[in-house]
């Protein structure tokens, strides 16, 4: 007699306790699946667990980033700032996990090292570093797009005898900067958040910048009691906007193109944008900002003028003004007191295009200008975006295909949640989802995945795998929109260009949420014909 098929231990195994994974665990349990979550860290939060560096904070409004699935949850949590800092975010995510009694389903310090599909039973065998060995029917990787820190390959990095920390792997115990000689390498969103916060504490701060970014003010503030009351009263309306808006923000889109306005009107509008919160500079700016080079240049020259007005040393000001890309081509960082930091006598800027890092030594960093001695080095050098974690999890699909081989030329997906050859495997919050306020569209994906699992179960199926033509349709859409306008952002991490040797493929979905909504409706209306559904033998 044949041995019995290996039976799954759980219906759903989620990997990663970030904002997407927590929601996925909640939804799976709510629908009556047995579920377990494996998390590499020793606490919940994902991105908001690992990025605990000084100054780490949202640049989406707190109440638009948090969960919206429960009015009770919304009502019993009060955010203190329009853009919350990491400690408050981590407290919030712990609160959610405890409020919905999710913690008992989570195993911490459990980094997944292998997940192998067994074709005969339609199940996945998953192994993690805590000794976990579990068989699951459905494997859902909610491992995030910004979860594998990137360390540039600088000669001598191991020789440095001081402290070194990556912003995305920040220690749980406080780092003492007082009176130290500190370097920050990288001036993306993380670098420009930490720089102004530690500058007052350190003896000397040296910023190593390769590419200047179009930084604009975050314009954060505490939430006043009156605003708190309005946020409570207007919850339903706000949720409706956030659940349907293209970008997942509350900022209303503008209705005018840049040259519809006179020079004076444009200036006044740009001033208003400069003083508006966070991403509104992108989402509420002139309608042609990203499509008309001349409109973009107008805004950039306004921002450049602002930088010149803040930074006292004209040479440093010029170094801080981007020359090689337009606004919005790279993910725009939002700042508080960043440019002002360069007016401090203990802060200096090294332009790596003029003087690249040659090597690190036991005592510091050496460029063509000589050796700078340091006590602490902060790597704010970004992440292996989009596919980094998925390619490192030991995922083996049908016929033992490795996911990293399947995606050797870049990811191919359907809706950013499934890929051919990997039945019963989903990755909401991964590549090709949408673009904008991340939790909103990742939440859309979790809802889609959960509804799909319910469909599979309720129709008596065991396995689900996307059809190749559906995957091709979605991936072609992603690739097509990625080049509109042509070459826009090609040198950003959105295309994987920050990682040597990584295929240059667009890793977000510039078609955005509207494409996601449309395709989800099509799946539903066509009875899941985008997928092959089957029963185990
Ligand atoms: P980013 O935005 O990828 O920024 C990384 C920074 O590190 C950026 O300034 C890079 O310069 C710099 N970098 C990367 N490699 C090197 C080397 N080899 N030498 C010098 N400088 C280097 O990462 P963040 O952590 O700041 O932000 C990631 C996301 O977190 C952000 O988009 C938000 O969603 C929150 P480059 O531009 O490549 O020349």
Q: What is the per-residue pLDDT across 388-416, written as a single tens digit (0 to 9) for each?
A: 999 999 999 999 999 999 999 999 999 99
Residue 380 in contact with ligand 1 by CB distance below 6 A: yes
The yes-or-no verdict on residue 435 having pLDDT over 60 is yes
Per-residue pLDDT for 223 more than 80? Answer: yes
Residue 42 has phi, psi (to 5 degrees) of: -105, 20
Average pLDDT score over residue span 325-335 = 95
- Contact 57 CB / ligand 1 (< 6 Å): no
Contact 154, 164 (CB under 8 A): no
Report the number of secondary-structure helices (H) and strands (E) in the chain: 17, 20
The preferred substitution site among 47, 50, 52, 189 for testing ligand 1, maximizing ligand atoms within 8 Å of CB, is 189
Q: Are strands 133-141 and 10-15 parallel, antiparallel or unpaired?
A: parallel
Spatial distance between the Cα atoms of 58 and 323, rounded to a whole number of angstroms: 27
pLDDT single digits (tens) 235-285: 999 999 999 999 999 999 999 999 999 999 999 999 999 999 999 999 999
Positive or negative: CA dihedral 342, 343, 348, 354: positive
Q: Is the pLDDT of residue 537 over 80?
A: no
Q: What is the pLDDT of residue 2?
A: 53
Separation of CA 94 and ligand 1 centre (Å): 28
Q: Specify the ligand 1 atom closest to the Cα of 330.
A: 2
State the Cα–Cα distance between residues 124 and 129, nearest whole angstrom. Answer: 17
State what percent of residues in the chain have pLDDT above 70. Answer: 99
Q: How confident is the model at residue 1 (pLDDT cuts 50, 70, 90)?
A: very low
Q: How many CB atoms are closer than 10 A to CB 419?
A: 26
Q: Are 443 and 138 in contact (CB under 8 A)?
A: no
- Which ligand 1 atom is nearest residue 154's CA? 18
Q: Which atom of ligand 1 is nearest to the CA of 497?
A: 38
| The pLDDT of residue 479 is above 60 | yes
Report the C-alpha gap between 261 and 38 in whole angstroms: 54
The answer to whether the beta carbons of residues 187 and 349 sit under 8 Å apart is no
Cis peptide before 485 (omega within 30 of 0): yes
Residue 491 pLDDT class (50, 70, 90 cuts): confident
Query: Does residue 305 have a pLDDT over 80?
Result: yes
Determine the distance separating the centroid of ligand 1 and the alpha carbon of 500, expressed in angstroms.
13
Check pocket membership of 254 for ligand 1, CB cut-off 6 A: no
The SS3 of residue 118 is strand
The pLDDT of residue 127 is above 80: yes
Q: Above 60 in pLDDT, residue 507? A: yes
Atom number in ligand 1 closest to CA 382: 23
Q: How far is 432 from 416, CA to CA, in rounded Å?
A: 5
| 386 ligand 1 Cβ < 6 A | no
Q: pTM score > 0.85 for this model? A: yes
Ligand 1 mutation target, pool 53, 169, 188, most atoms within 8 A of CB: 188
The beta strand positions in 325-369, using DSSP E, are: 334-335, 347-351, 357-360, 364-367
Q: What CA–CA distance (Å, rounded) separates 154 from 171?
A: 22
Which 3 state secondary structure label does DSSP give 322? coil
Beta strands 347-351 and 204-209 are: parallel
Contact 220, 58 (CB under 8 A): no
Expressed in angstroms and rounded, the spacing between residue 202 Cα and the centre of ligand 1 is 22
């Amino acid at each position: 007699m044949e041995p019995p098929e290996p039976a799954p231990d759980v219906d759903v195994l989620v990997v990663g306790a970030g904002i997407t994974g927590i929601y996925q665990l909640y939804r799976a349990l709510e629908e009556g699946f047995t579920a377990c979550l494996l998390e590499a860290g020793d606490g919940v939060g994902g991105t908001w667990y690992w990025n605990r560096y000084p100054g780490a904070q949202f640049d989406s409004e707190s109440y638009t980033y948090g969960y919206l699935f429960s009015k009770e949850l919304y009502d019993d949590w009060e955010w203190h700032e329009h853009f919350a800092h990491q400690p408050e975010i981590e407290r919030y995510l712990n609160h959610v996990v405890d409020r919905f009694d999710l913690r008992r389903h989570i195993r911490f310090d459990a980094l997944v090292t292998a997940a192998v599909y067994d074709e005969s039973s339609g199940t996945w065998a998953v192994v993690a570093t805590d000794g976990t060995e579990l068989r699951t029917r459905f494997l859902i990787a909610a491992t995030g797009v910004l979860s594998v820190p990137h360390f540039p390959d600088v000669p001598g990095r191991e020789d440095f005898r001081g402290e070194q920390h990556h912003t995305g792997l920040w220690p749980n115990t406080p780092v003492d900067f007082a009176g130290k000689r500190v370097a920050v390498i990288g001036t993306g969103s993380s670098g420009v958040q930490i720089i102004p916060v530690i500058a007052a504490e350190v003896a000397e701060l040296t910023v190593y910048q390769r590419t200047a970014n179009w930084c604009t003010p975050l314009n954060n503030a505490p939430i006043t009691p009156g605003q708190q009351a309005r946020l409570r009263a207007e919850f339903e309306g706000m949720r409706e906007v956030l659940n349907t808006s293209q970008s997942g923000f509350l900022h209303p889109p503008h209705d005018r193109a840049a040259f519809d306005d006179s020079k004076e009107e444009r200036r006044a509008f740009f001033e208003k944008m400069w003083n508006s919160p966070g991403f509104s500079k992108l989402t509420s700016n002139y309608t042609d900002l990203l499509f008309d080079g001349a409109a973009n240049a107008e805004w950039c020259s306004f921002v450049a003028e602002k930088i010149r007005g803040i930074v006292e040393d004209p040479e440093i000001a010029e170094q801080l003004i981007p020359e090689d890309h337009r606004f919005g081509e790279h993910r725009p960082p939002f700042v508080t007191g960043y440019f002002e930091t360069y007016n401090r006598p203990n802060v200096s800027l090294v332009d790596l295009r003029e003087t690249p890092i040659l090597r690190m030594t036991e005592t510091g960093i050496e460029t063509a200008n000589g050796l700078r001695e340091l006590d602490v080095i902060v790597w704010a050098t970004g992440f292996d975006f989009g596919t980094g974690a998925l390619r490192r999890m030991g995922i083996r699909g049908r016929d033992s295909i490795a996911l990293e081989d399947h995606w050797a030329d870049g990811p191919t997906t359907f809706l950013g949640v499934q890929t051919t050859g990997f039945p019963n495997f989903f990755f909401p919050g991964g590549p090709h989802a949408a673009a904008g306020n991340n939790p909103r569209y990742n939440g859309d994906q979790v809802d889609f995945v959960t509804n799909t699992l319910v469909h599979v179960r309720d129709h008596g199926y065991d396995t689900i795998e996307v059809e190749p033509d559906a995957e091709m349709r979605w991936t072609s859409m992603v690739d097509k929109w990625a080049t509109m306008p042509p070459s826009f952002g090609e040198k950003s991490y959105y295309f994987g260009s920050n990682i040597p040797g990584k295929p240059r493929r667009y890793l977000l979905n510039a078609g955005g949420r509207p494409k996601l909504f449309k395709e989800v409706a099509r799946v539903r209306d066509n009875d899941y014909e985008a997928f092959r559904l089957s029963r185990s033998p």
